[in-house]
Structure 1
Amino acid sequence: MSKISALGLDVGSKRIGVAGCDGTGLIATGLTTIEHTSFDRDIEQLRSLVEERQVQVLVVGLPYSMDGTIGFQAKKVQKFASRVAAALQLPLEYVDERLTSVHAEQLIIAEKRSPSRNKGLIDRKAAALILQQWLDDRRANMKKQLAQSSNLLTEQV
């Protein structure tokens, strides 16, 4: 399997949770939380991570509505993410992030921490859940393609 360096983003109105993965693409980990101040400052902080980690792709959680449609918040995230990807000159992929923040909050409660005092941690954990979903989907698709390729080879022999 090829090496991958991806950055997962959980984009909110006040903060951006940021996660990265190990080079094998197996495990996503929360890295930091960026407090929104200005677009240029957000890019500056993200660029630093991109260069340090040699990031190849941005993976952004898209907050679909519960009925699966793209609502106002998802459109805002798409607009912001497109600007970020263009500024960083990176490809952009989206992951359905419905309920990731709720799941992240439950993980914090399980750790006996207060969610209300750990908003940045919730954002980082949500970003890690988003990136982990993308990594898992990517790995499953690669296995599927490998199986299909090997079936084709078997049929040809």
Structure 2
Amino acid sequence: MKRILALDIGTERIGLAITDELGLIAQPLTVIKRKNDAQALQEIKKIIKQQKVKKIVVGMPYDAQGKIGTMGKKVMAFAEKLKAIIDVPLIFWDESFTTTEAETVLLKADLSRRHRKKVVDKLAAALILESFLKAIHEK
């Protein structure tokens, strides 16, 4: 298995996490501040090339009824733009409560609000990736 990249796409920031070269361990990578889609897409494309990513897991936010809501549609639109400029398969994965879980972890670590804001998105991406890895390794 090769490297897998996970994206936690938000309106202001995109959290990224990546696996080790064996595809077994998820680790937070970085946070991209979204100035505009073109800039964010190019930064992601650069990381995909640098890290030799073979698969991308995109966190999909579902609403309380388990349907794709407003943010989910925005995530899908961004993912479609990404798909158009790369040659790597995208997989949508349920990201329910990952940001909340990441916030909880960071609160327990007693990080300041300012520092939490800088890392919460990449930690959420790592939680999405861990969930995906667990599911594929259980098969």
Q: Deviations over 1:53-98 (max 9, x none)?
A: 1101111100001221111111111111121122122211011111
Tell which structure's C-alpha radius of gyration is larger.
1
Instruction: Give the 3-state SS of the residue equivalent to 1:98 in structure 2.
Output: coil
Q: C-alpha distance in 2, partners of 1:12/1:109?
A: 20
Q: Deviations over 1:77-121 (max 9, x none)?
A: 111112112212221101111110000001101111024542130
Letter in structure 2 aligned against 1:103: E
Percent of paired sites with the same residue: 35
Q: C-alpha distance in 2, partners of 1:88/1:120?
A: 27
Q: C-alpha distance in 2, partners of 1:17/1:42?
A: 11
Root mean square deviation of aligned Cα: 1.2
Instruction: Give the 3-state SS of the residue equivalent to 1:66 in structure 2.
Output: coil
Moved over 2 A (4+): 114-118
Gaps of 5+ in 1: 142-157
Q: Which structure is higher in strand share?
A: 2
- Equivalent runs, 1:135-150 vs 2, <5 Å: 135-141=133-139
Q: C-alpha distance in 1, partners of 2:79/2:39?
A: 15
Q: C-alpha distance in 2, partners of 1:16/1:55?
A: 17
Q: How many residues align?
A: 139
- Equivalent runs, 1:1-157 vs 2, <5 Å: 3-141=1-139
Q: Which structure is higher in helix share?
A: 1
Letter in structure 2 aligned against 1:81: A
TM-score w.r.t. structure 2 length?
A: 0.94
